[in-house]
A and B are shown apart, each in its own frame.
Chain A
């Protein structure tokens, strides 16, 4: 026993190194779980407030761009207005009242990791919960995976585990959208039936199958189509509509019918 202690003391540099690495790696692998919990929500409170005061400063410099975007969005909404008012008794109204929208501000965001997350300033106090969709005025951004009382943690589309059910707007075929970890502007469309021809500029929108996003929200446009040489499913490169590097304001989408649909589905799956 004494010898062991003497040995450990003599090699304390190495022993201490091994201990610290073991602690680090344990922390790391525990945090790798897919739907990672916000066990560190107290930490989020601290870092969140640092980021919040920082983003108040940077926000100021982005005001001009943000204004332009708001103006664009206003214009878009105005375009929809006569349709809604004029045909309020028709079934053609696009607005799906099952979904609730609310705005939130991005507190921190990254685009340069293999797994990117976004922190936004709405939490449980604003009745946020996991599995709500997040979009910007341009397109889909990600999905809420955890909440603390004042913040929500969003898994960005720019994540190795992100897989979004989508469809090709022009012909309604279902596909999936992934991210390959390279460029924050580009993702991958997979599972395209091989008889489909896609051209640069074709739109990819949400399918509505996941009950997280309503149908038809823009994800991006095709940049390059890679037809499979044999008869497998083809792939394409998609240019995301949302500019992840400039996110400042986002909208959270809540599907009010999702709990009901989930209960129904789980009842029949068991």
Chain B
């Protein structure tokens, strides 16, 4: 197994455990639920096989669902995020060259670029997630504010984690 595989397996396990054992028990003001596990999908190599990307997203979402007894909810939202990812990467970073197996890391995209990339994809994910969870447009504004606030907190946490790991590598 290559270094890349081991790194991703460790990342998968760590993010899933962090999500289901710590973050799922956090409740900030009754509105905010951060879902940091999507960082796994954000950091997969840019040149990854696209169907593989979708499959990994599906499996990741399903794992989170198993722990939260929300079968299909996170899977649907995470697959949507994975589907949007190649387009967003092309849209924001078409001037950047990525070698095989290179990850869209914070050092490659620059903090500003990584923030933009994270913010947009997390927003797409949370939008799908929260609307599927309530499954109605009743209380539209309250759902929208949950989406907005949770997106901000998730993004903030992802930036912190990404910066921590980037600095450790140097």
Contact = CB atoms under 8 A, between A and B. Distances in A.
B21 A110 contact: no
B25 A110 contact: yes
Contact of A112 (B26, B65, B79): B26
Interface stretch (B50-58, B92-100, B111-119): B50-58
Nearest to A182: B30
A114 B136 CA distance: 12
Interface string A109-133: 0111111010100000000000000
Contacts of B135: 32
Nearest to B83: A17
A163 to B, nearest CB: 17
B107 interface: no
Contact of A111 (B27, B72, B83): B27
Given A13-B51, A114-B133, A24 B26 contact: no
B47 interface: no
Interface string A137-160: 000000000000000010000000
Contacts of A23: 58, 72, 75
A254 B81 CA distance: 45
Interface string A83-127: 000000000000000000000000010111111010100000000
Nearest to B134: A114
A240 B159 CA distance: 37
Interface string A170-194: 0000000000011110000000000
B73 A28 contact: yes
Contacts of B71: 27-28, 30-31, 40
Interface string B110-147: 00000000000000000000001111000100100000
Interface of B is mostly: helix
Contacts of A29: 72
B2 interface: no
B165 interface: no
B54 A13 contact: yes
B70 interface: yes
B67 A47 contact: yes
Nearest to B150: A112
Contact of A182 (B73, B86, B142): B142
Max chain B C-beta neighbours (<10 A), residue from A17, A23, A153: A17
Nearest to B50: A13
Contacts of B134: 114, 181
Contacts of B69: 31, 40, 44, 47, 117, 119, 153
A24 B75 contact: yes
Contacts of B24: 110, 112
B109 interface: no
Max chain A C-beta neighbours (<10 A), residue from B30, B68, B86: B30
Contact of B139 (A46, A119, A181): A181
B77 to A, nearest CB: 8
A118 to B, nearest CB: 10
Given A13-B51, A20-B54, A112-B33, A26 B72 contact: yes
Nearest to B21: A54
Interface in B25-69: 25-27, 30-31, 33, 50-51, 54-55, 57-58, 61, 65-69
Given A113-B133, A181-B139, A182-B30, A27 B25 contact: no
Interface string A192-205: 00000000000000
Given A20-B55, A27-B65, A40-B66, 20 more contacts: A12-B51, A17-B54, A20-B57, A20-B75, A26-B72, A28-B73, A28-B132, A29-B72, A30-B71, A40-B69, A43-B66, A44-B69, A46-B66, A47-B66, A112-B26, A113-B33, A115-B133, A181-B139, A184-B30, A245-B27
23 contacts: A12-B51, A13-B86, A20-B54, A20-B55, A20-B75, A21-B79, A23-B58, A24-B76, A27-B72, A28-B72, A28-B73, A30-B72, A40-B66, A43-B66, A47-B67, A47-B69, A50-B20, A108-B67, A110-B68, A114-B134, A153-B69, A181-B134, A184-B30
